[in-house]
Amino acid sequence: MAPGDKKATISDVAKLAKVGKTSVSRYLNGEFAILSENMQHKIAAAIESLNYQPSQIARSMKCGRTRLVALVFADINNPYSIDVMQGIEAASQEHDYTLLVFNTNNQIERECKILRLLRSYQVEGVIIHALRTHDDNFKQFSLPTVSVDRQIYDLPCDVVGLDNVQAATEVTHYLLNSGFEAMLFITETMDDIQPRQKRIETFKQIIALNQPCIGEVAELHDSKNAQEVDRIIAAFCARNRGMRKAIISVNGAVTLNISLSLKRLKLEWGKDIGLLGFDDPVWASVVGVGISTLKQPTFQIGYKAFTLLYQRMNGERSDFQTVLYPGELIIRESTE
């Protein structure tokens, strides 16, 4: 078939090989035992001559397995999402699955629409980083599902993520033991976001047991609002003048906005104030004197998420698991 011609079909192969379409289909499905050696050679020659490429989706749907998995993220631009996806992709390649990636862009209506569409995409399972813990979007959702980072109420599924209690405990005790007398934990909205709630609750509990250390929490209405971040940090510094102060950030995006705010306020982390953030973006090791972080095992989380989903898609019926991994505290000069 000439390069400009239309794509070859299974009928073209059968015609050139002078065999039936059923014989070609059997050849493509590896059923060589019921085909004569001569017929196999003729079909192979015809496929090569026509440069025939079978439709993998059509073949998969015919046998009831598409080997497609949907990956739904609340915010694909978040470095956390990208890092987790690398682990998922590595595991999916080992099992010969293809990922369909969806971004809800932090919009609940878009998440709802994507979940409705998944059936039409013939996916075998779903890995989701949902927007909220309590969500009507998941009522009567029946596809095999693994949730990353949070438990979704009313959705029976496996959950994989960070052990937020362990991580927040390690972070808070480290700052206490380092001599910080006043701490400000800055978070994005905690409204039905389980990981953020766990980190803040743990922080408050530890501070309550370690008086007279001061522990404050500031919830941002808009983490990109520079004036709001500046106002919160400036007020914290004014209230605790003369004390050794530190800021804890709930995630990498907030850490970046805090570091920009400190620059605007002419405060140096590691000198005027301590700074420690959850997540470990690449730039945290190179800006200023470096920023201490709580690194999440994102690759491991992603890899485990797909492994659990693979087992469910292939008939696993055991009790659902919640797999939590410890974080790694990386100390840099911002808290020394």
What pLDDT does residue 56 have? 54
What pLDDT does residue 134 have? 78
303 DSSP 8-state letter:
H
Q: What is the pLDDT of residues 99-124, one digit of tens each?
A: 999 999 989 889 988 988 887 778 99
Percent of the chain's residues with pLDDT above 90? 65
Residue 63 located in a structural domain: no
What pLDDT does residue 61 have? 52
SS3 for 240? coil
For every residue of 1-25, DSSP letters joined together read --TTSPPP-HHHHHHHHTS-HHHHH
Partnered with residue 4 across adjacent β-strands are: none
The helix (H) or strand (E) run that includes residue 68 is strand 68-73
Are residues 312 and 212 both part of a single domain?
no
The answer to whether residues 249 and 260 touch, using CB atoms and an 8 Å cutoff, is: no
Checking if the pLDDT of 153 tops 80, the result is: yes
- Residue 178: φ, ψ to 5°: -85, 0
Residue 287 located in a structural domain: yes
Checking if the pLDDT of 4 tops 80, the result is: no
The answer to whether residues 265 and 230 touch, using CB atoms and an 8 Å cutoff, is: yes
What pLDDT does residue 118 have? 84
Q: What is the pLDDT of residues 284-335, one digit of tens each?
A: 999 999 999 999 999 999 999 999 999 999 999 999 999 999 999 999 999 9
Checking if the pLDDT of 57 tops 60, the result is: no
What pLDDT does residue 60 have? 54
Are residues 285 and 309 both part of a single domain?
no
What pLDDT does residue 10 have? 87
Are residues 47 and 105 both part of a single domain?
no
Report the pLDDT averaged over residues 56-69. Answer: 66
The answer to whether residues 277 and 167 touch, using CB atoms and an 8 Å cutoff, is: no
Structural domains of the chain, count: 3
CA dist., res. 218 & res. 202, Å (int): 15
Residue 62 located in a structural domain: no
CATH number (domain holding residue 144): 3.40.50.2300
Are residues 158 and 226 both part of a single domain?
no
- Residue 171: φ, ψ to 5°: -60, -50
Each as own residue / partner, the long-range contacts of residues 284-289 (CB below 8 Å, 24 or more positions apart, any chain) are 284/252, 284/255, 284/332, 285/332, 287/259, 288/259, 288/334, 289/332, 289/333, 289/334
Average pLDDT of every residue of the chain: 90
* Nearest by Cα to 185 from 248, 100, 99, 241: 248
Domain limits at 183? 164-295+329-335
269 DSSP 8-state letter:
B
Residue 194 located in a structural domain: yes
The helices-and-strands tally (H runs, E runs) of the chain is 11, 12
Continuous H helices in the chain: 10-17, 21-28, 37-50, 56-62, 79-94, 108-117, 164-177, 194-208, 226-239, 252-264, 298-313
The helix (H) or strand (E) run that includes residue 162 is strand 158-162
Residue 60 located in a structural domain: no
Q: What is the pLDDT of residues 239-279, one digit of tens each?
A: 999 999 999 999 999 999 999 999 999 999 999 999 999 99
* Nearest by Cα to 28 from 60, 3, 5: 60
Question: pTM for this one?
Answer: 0.80
